[in-house]
Structure 1
């Protein structure tokens, strides 16, 4: 897994509208980059809604919030509309960023082993360097935990 102090891998992915977005587009801004398994699942919906609820706090601090999963742009569009998500959702079906950020890992569920996205958040500083890695985050407290960390800085 990437560590604090590592250069954040750049990527170019499509957002929910099909527009290309790269990490370097936000150079000079702090970024919260969170990886989640799937749109419209209970945990991922809780996590996205928590980020939506805290979005104004992130915006006031000029922090960009980006969620990434392997869902399609159409899925992201529906997910964002259904839950009124104001932040960027990126589609990574080829696992480009997902693998670059080392969140595609073996998971065990109900005794079955499979590969999938491990829910992880990265805080990236204004210079594109990873400031903090938060592995295996809890969906309902992830946004609040990040805000608490940022207040301590």
Structure 2
């Protein structure tokens, strides 16, 4: 009788641990996927701004199709990035999210200034400023992604390997 009870208790503990592990892994995957999605969208904005800055000197370095694609995608990426950041606000620790969000708000301000206040003769100054903020935003996002997704997962794997 005792071996049966002990076996049932062990099975219950194993099942409970498996469920918790699965939920933890699902949360990690969601955090990783949303972070990477936000990073891809931030990169679209950065590449657009780089092409605009280079275009000032007539050296886009892009085909006409690539330039048209960036011109079409960057406003959509900006819109969707705001939605991704709202989601990341739930997934990231507060201090990490604040850094990312502050960089995002600075970028947003520069993008609005570029779109609304610039004129043909000074747009390059607005683009240069927005590009700087875009790079800072990308860096903040990469740092948060490493701290909240890559490094914890890497440490978990290292610990498993050391135990063997």
* Fold shared, TM-score > 0.5 on shorter chain: no
Identify, as 1 or 2, the structure richer in helix. 2
Q: Which TM-score band applies after superposition, normalised by the shorter structure?
A: under 0.3
TM-score calculated relative to the size of structure 2? 0.26
Pick 1 or 2: higher relative contact order, CA cutoff 8 A, min separation 6. 1
Larger radius of gyration: 2
